[in-house]
Amino acid sequence: MSSKPKVVMTNKILDEPYNWLKERVNLVCWEEESQPPQEVIKSWLQDADGLYSTFYPVTKTLLEDAKKLKVVSQCAVGYDNIDVNYCTERKIPVCNTPHVVVEATAELTYGLLICAARDIINAVNYVKEGKWIKNFGYPLSHDLHGKTLGIFGMGNVGSALARRAKASLMNVIYHNRKPNPNDKSLNARYVSFDELIETSDYLVVLSPLTPETRGKFNYEVFKRMKKTAILINAARGPIVVTEDLYKALLDKEIAFAALDVVDPEPIPFNSPLLNLPNVIITPHIGTATYETRLNMMQLAAENLLDVLEGRKPKYCVNSEVL
């Protein structure tokens, strides 16, 4: 019988961190492409010491029979899928992987911003569909320089986006729970939520999903935005009310939306959003570069092993239990 701690992994990860962790623990992993059934993970956890989550729903129901569990380590920054309060009650550390995701997420967000402003996806399809029969025939798009970029959630990713916007000569404003201490170096100005939604030409959602931000962007908010405004969401889908966004785009309350996250996710193939010409949607690829995912997966493995071997993990969202 192995003396190594038992760790349950909800989906296979890249070979390097997978093999690194497998050498050190008794690893039980769901290796199919699909999401594992809850009853399977729940049964595996009954005698497990650790859970390595690839953004799997970690509920009280899932964990209540896992009497030996010592740590939940998630390969992600956000942890809205985890019942952190229950874990804290059980004195189970919940670890995540911030910082290593910042630049990749900011790059993707900036890419969505440029694609939306310049209508790049529709322009590519215009050529592919054989509609380019003369120059200067495609509808005009919009500049970034001189325009106002509004950022809802000026954390690490928001700050990285602001640095990129500075290179595009944009005017950056933002709204947070409190001002960012580095906003002067970012040439960004703190504003109220009202000013953010009413004056932004491009409004980027980058806040965590919390009870306060869930459903924050609804039809009433869209009605107060500029008719020419473009919304970009690279945070969490439920911060934006999907039905309200569809109605706002259809009613031309706002001009365009570029989304890396949606609600629900994955988006159903028959969602009416997919039929609108003024929406582009990517499949939640903010951190989906080889380098970033490798760093995330390795960090999640190291956080998990640190707890199991009695060390303080590098990142823990409920550090009071340590």
Nearest to 227 by CA among 254, 249, 248: 254
Q: Which two tokens stand for residue 311?
A: 């060390």
Question: Is 293 one of the annotated active-site residues of the chain?
Answer: no
Copy the structure tokens of residue 183: 């906003």
Annotated catalytic residue, options 236, 253, 293, 302:
236
Q: Which of 99, 103, 111 is nearest to 163 (CA)?
A: 103
Label the pairing between strands 148-152 and 171-175. parallel
134: tokens are 């003369």
User: What gap in Å lies between CA 230 and CA 144, rounded to an integer?
Assistant: 11
The backbone torsions φ and ψ at residue 198, rounded to the nearest 5 degrees and listed phi first, read: -90, -20
* CA 133 vs CA 103, 129, 141, 285: distances in Å: 39, 11, 19, 34
DSSP single-letter state for residue 45: G
Nearest partner of 303 among 77, 114, 56, judged by Cα: 77
311 is an active site residue:
no
> Angle at Cα 302 formed by Cα 299 and Cα 307, nearest 5°?
130
User: 236 catalytic, yes or no?
Assistant: yes
- Residue of 164, 284, 293, 302 marked active site: 284
Residue type, 173: I
Identify whether the C-beta of residue 280 lies closer than 8 Å to the C-beta of residue 259: yes
Task: Please state, in angstroms and as integers, the Cα–Cα distance from residue 246 to each residue in 11, 287, 297, following that order.
Answer: 33, 26, 35
The residues that are catalytic are 236, 265, 284
